[in-house]
């Protein structure tokens, strides 16, 4: 939530900050602002409601010179998105400017105390409370300003960049330092980076090397990042499997599991915690692990789990799935599980983020930075890792035969080619998606492995088109949602070939009997459903367990094309943020 970027060095700060803010805009785009110290030492703040573009327009006629600066793009928590609440916030004396990412939970009490001491507030934010408090302590204690924030990054030649993640600084340096909780980075011109804790004790810090490249952060020929990311999936899944799937040797090697074979062999239970799209991937993981490894699995919304006083045993394995690796609730669920002695395994995308740093082991999904707020390639990467994880555990526990394993390996390795075939249908989906832009509601149905894919399809549609959409297990339709079906109601049904196929066909008949409009995802060559459905999208055949990796692709495209036709801001839909670092 919120993006922060800062610069101190010999260059002009403003262009670096603005470029950085554009890259971080996915984290929030309610308002944006910069604070700059010009060469005569004057501190100025420029901010604007709306996107970074608005800030640029606003600051056009201003003095934007200076080699020290901080900048912020906001996702509103305390106070509506407006000019007053935009960051940076000034202290009363206007000598300190603050940007901040996160929540100050006791801000109300602090604010009251500061008001009593004569402080005046211009905004409703918790950040302004913090800046006044810093100002107050600095004066009262006659001490140095040492209330620095978030991530510190170092370049050898006497310049430092700081940012919420590595994207704003990748073209300037490949060397990064990740801060842990309760650590403060002190960066001063001409001095070495220091990391201290709140008691001012020195902490050691490791310089890590970034793999990220600039081209991964650019949209290229695509109209939106989301479309680029949908089309990247054949490659990202190949990257995800590289070095882990060995087709010649018919083998799967997931080192995070193999390094901890005893833990997985003796696991009493696996609990998967996640939020949003990652939670849908977790539901597929549950099917995969239970079917292949015969270990009981529970899937939990991290936000519910952490506050439920859950039963966690020392021989439980807790798997945390998170694209960003920064989701506050998932991180808290990890910390809770750790404190109870469980073994924690992370499945994340952002290398070096907080969740991987707080786990015992794990696997990165290696799909590259995901910029579109609606997750696409991260979902298929997560499912791919979960499939490899289940197969590796099954091998270790000997709950899978060599022949079955070989079958899976062969199927998995063909998934990227099969996705390429589905992507060729994008134009067809675009054409018929126009018919459905009128709809106010959608229902998505699927069974077994397709049920989480239906949930994910519905989530994609509501996130970016703002059309209300619900995913249901197909058989549950008659316990409620069927009452909604009439000639205005589009129903998306995943009706690929599997052992529940005939039952899903009956559901389609029930929808048609009530004049519902059916968009069906079917297996290539299907003749039965195509006679019933209004529109059919064919996907290649695969193993039932891997089917969501294929059936989700047309659902991503359907949501995308509907949203574009409706003129929505696909990459930055209203009210959402990519990295939810507040609970």
Q: Tokens 């996640």 correspond to what residue?
A: 274
Q: Whose Cβ is closer to ligand G6P: residue 193's or residue 582's?
A: 582
# binding residues, ligand G6P (CB under 6 A): 15
Closest residue to ligand G6P using C-beta atoms: 276
Question: Which of 234, 256, 276, 369 touches ligand G6P (CB under 6 A)?
Answer: 276
Signed CA dihedral, 77, 81, 86, 87: sign only: positive
Alpha-carbon distance of 292 to 391, in angstroms, equals 7
3-state secondary structure of 399: coil
Q: Which is nearer to ligand G6P, 299 or 580 (by Cβ)?
A: 580
Count how many Cα atoms sit within 13 Å of the Cα of residue 319 in the half-sphere of its side chain: 32
The catalytic residue among 2, 240, 293, 348 is 2
Among residues 154, 236, 330, 450, which is the contact residue for ligand G6P, using CB under 6 A? 330
CB of 246 to ligand G6P, least distance (A): 28
The least distance separating ligand G6P from the CB of residue 324, rounded to whole angstroms, comes to: 3
User: Which is closer to ligand G6P, CB of 164 or CB of 324?
Assistant: 324
By CB under 6 A, name the one of 323, 380, 392, 556 that touches ligand G6P. 323
H, E, C per residue of 340-388? CCCEEEEEECCCCCHHHHCCCEEEECCCCCCCCCCCCHHHHHHHHHHHH
Residue keyed to tokens 């929540």:
103
Identify the residue among 92, 134, 253, 576 touching ligand G6P (CB under 6 A): 576
Check 51, 228, 395, 578 and give the catalytic one: 578
359 binds ligand G6P (CB under 6 A): no
Least distance from ligand G6P to the Cβ atom of residue 574, Å = 12
Residue 57, both tokens = 């327009």
Considering only residues 180 through 219, tell me which ones interact with ligand G6P, judged by CB under 6 A. Answer: none
Q: Which is nearer to ligand G6P, 543 or 568 (CB)?
A: 568
Contact range with ligand G6P by CB under 6 A, out of 174-182, 196-204, 370-378, 487-495: 370-378
User: Is 428 marked active-site?
Assistant: no
Distance CA 404, CA 51 (A): 52
Pick the stretch among 151-159, 195-203, 368-376, 439-447 that binds ligand G6P (CB under 6 A): 368-376
User: In angstroms, what is the minimal distance from the CB of 290 to ligand G6P?
Assistant: 22
Nearest-10 Cα torsion for 519, 277, 447, 311: -160
Residue given tokens 């833990």 in the structure block: 263
**Angle, to 10 degrees, between the axis of helix 107-116 and the axis of helix 126-141?**
50
Q: Which is nearer to ligand G6P, 131 or 284 (CB)?
A: 284
CB of 22 to ligand G6P, least distance (A): 19
- Report which of 447, 463, 462 is spatially closest to residue 521, judged by C-alpha positions: 447
Closer Cβ to ligand G6P, 455 or 508, answer by number: 455
Whether 411 contacts 544, CB under 8 Å: no
* Residue ranges with strand state E in 40-182: 43-49, 68-74, 89-90, 97-98, 153-155, 159-163, 175-176
Nearer to ligand G6P, 134 or 332 (CB): 332
The token duo for 364 is 């990165």
Check residue 578 for interaction with ligand G6P (CB under 6 A): yes
| SS3 sequence of 493-525 | EEECCCCCHHHHHHHHHHHHHCCCEEEEEEECC
Q: Residue 373 Cβ, how far from ligand G6P at the closest point, in Å?
A: 5
* Closer by beta carbon to ligand G6P, 213 or else 575: 575
Q: Between 328 and 558, name the residue whose CB sits nearer to ligand G6P.
A: 328
**Closest separation in Å from C-beta 188 to ligand G6P:** 33
**Residue 373 in contact with ligand G6P, rule: CB under 6 A:** yes
Residue 554 as a binder of ligand G6P (CB under 6 A): the answer is: no
Residue (52 or 580) nearer to ligand G6P, CB: 580
**Among the listed residues 322, 426, 542, 556, the single contact to ligand G6P using CB under 6 A:** 322
What is the C-alpha separation between 458 and 552, in angstroms, rounded?
10
What is the smallest separation between the CB atom of 275 and ligand G6P, expressed in angstroms? 4
Give the DSSP letter string of 154-221.
EETTTEEEEESSSGGGTTT-SEEBPPPTTEEEE--TTS--EEEETT--B-----EE----GGGG--TT
Token pair in block for residue 269: 């239970």
578 is catalytic: yes
Which one of residues 324, 363, 392, 581 is an interface residue with ligand G6P (CB under 6 A)?
324
Shortest Cβ distance from residue 321 to ligand G6P (Å)? 7
Q: Are 78 and 66 in contact (CB under 8 A)?
A: no
Per-residue contact flags (x/-) with ligand G6P for residues 277 to 296, judged by CB under 6 A: xx------------------
Structure tokens at 128: 């302004």
Decide: is 327 part of the binding site for ligand G6P (CB under 6 A).
yes
Asked if residues 138 and 126 have their Cβ atoms less than 8 Å apart, the reply is no
List residues with catalytic annotation: 2, 578
Binding residues for ligand G6P (CB under 6 A): 275-278, 322-324, 327, 330, 373-375, 576, 578, 580
């Amino acid at each position: 939530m919120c993006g922060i970027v800062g610069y101190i060095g010999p260059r002009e700060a403003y262009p670096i900050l603005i470029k950085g803010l554009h890259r971080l805009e996915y984290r929030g785009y309610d308002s944006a602002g910069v604070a700059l110290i010009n060469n005569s030492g004057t501190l100025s703040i420029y901010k604007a409601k709306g996107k970074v573009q608005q800030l640029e327009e606003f600051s056009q006629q201003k003095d934007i010179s200076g080699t020290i600066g901080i900048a912020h793009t906001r996702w509103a928590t305390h106070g509506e998105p407006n000019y007053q609440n935009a960051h940076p916030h000034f202290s009363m004396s206007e000598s300190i400017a603050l940007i901040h990412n996160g929540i100050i939970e006791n801000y109300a009490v602090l604010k009251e105390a500061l008001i009593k001491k004569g402080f005046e507030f211009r905004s409703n934010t918790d950040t302004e409370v913090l800046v006044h408090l810093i100002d107050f302590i600095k004066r009262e204690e006659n001490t140095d300003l040492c209330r620095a924030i978030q991530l510190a990054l170092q370049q050898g030649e006497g310049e430092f960049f700081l940012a919420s993640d590595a994207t704003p600084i990748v073209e300037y340096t490949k060397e990064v330092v990740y801060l842990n909780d309760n650590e403060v980075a002190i960066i001063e011109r001409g001095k070495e980076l220091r990391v201290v804790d709140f008691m001012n004790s020195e902490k050691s810090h490791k310089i890590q090397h970034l793999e990220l490249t600039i081209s991964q952060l650019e949209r290229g020929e695509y109209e939106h990042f989301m479309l680029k990311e949908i089309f990247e999936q054949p490659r990202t899944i190949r990257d995800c499997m590289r070095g882990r799937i060995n087709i010649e040797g018919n083998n799967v090697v997931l080192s995070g599991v193999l390094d901890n074979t005893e833990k997985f062999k003796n696991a009493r239970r696996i609990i998967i915690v996640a939020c949003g799209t990652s939670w849908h991937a977790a539901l597929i993981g549950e099917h995969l692990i239970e079917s292949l490894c015969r270990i009981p699995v529970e899937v939990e919304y991290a936000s519910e789990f952490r506050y439920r006083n859950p039963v966690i045993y020392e021989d439980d394995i807790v798997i945390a799935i998170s694209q960003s690796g920064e989701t506050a609730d998932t991180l808290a669920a990890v910390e809770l599980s750790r404190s109870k002695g469980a073994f924690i395994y992370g499945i994340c995308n952002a290398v070096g983020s907080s969740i991987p740093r707080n786990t015992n082991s794990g696997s990165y999904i290696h799909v590259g930075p995901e910029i579109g707020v609606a997750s696409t390639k991260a979902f298929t990467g997560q499912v791919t890792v979960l499939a490899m994880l289940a197969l590796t555990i099954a091998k270790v526990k000997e709950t899978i035969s060599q022949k079955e394993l070989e079958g899976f390996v062969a199927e998995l390795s063909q998934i990227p080619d099969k996705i390429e075939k589905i992507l060729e249908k994008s134009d067809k989906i675009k054409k018929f998606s126009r018919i459905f832009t009128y709809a106010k509601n959608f229902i998505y149905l699927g069974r077994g492995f397709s049920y989480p894919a239906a949930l994910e399809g519905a989530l994609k549609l509501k996130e970016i088109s703002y059309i209300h959409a619900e995913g249901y297990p197909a058989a549950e339709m008659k316990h409620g949602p069927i009452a909604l079906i009439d000639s205005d109601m589009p129903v998306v049904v995943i009706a690929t070939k599997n052992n529940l196929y005939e039952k899903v066909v009956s559901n389609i008949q029930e929808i048609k009997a009530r004049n519902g409009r059916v968009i069906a995802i079917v297996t290539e060559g299907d003749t039965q459903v195509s006679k019933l459905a209004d529109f059919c999208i064919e996907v290649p055949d695969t193993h039932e367990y891997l089917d969501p990796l294929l059936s989700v692709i047309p659902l991503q495209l359907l949501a995308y094309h509907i949203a574009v036709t409706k003129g929505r801001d696909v990459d930055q839909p209203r009210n959402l943020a990519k990295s939810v670092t507040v609970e």
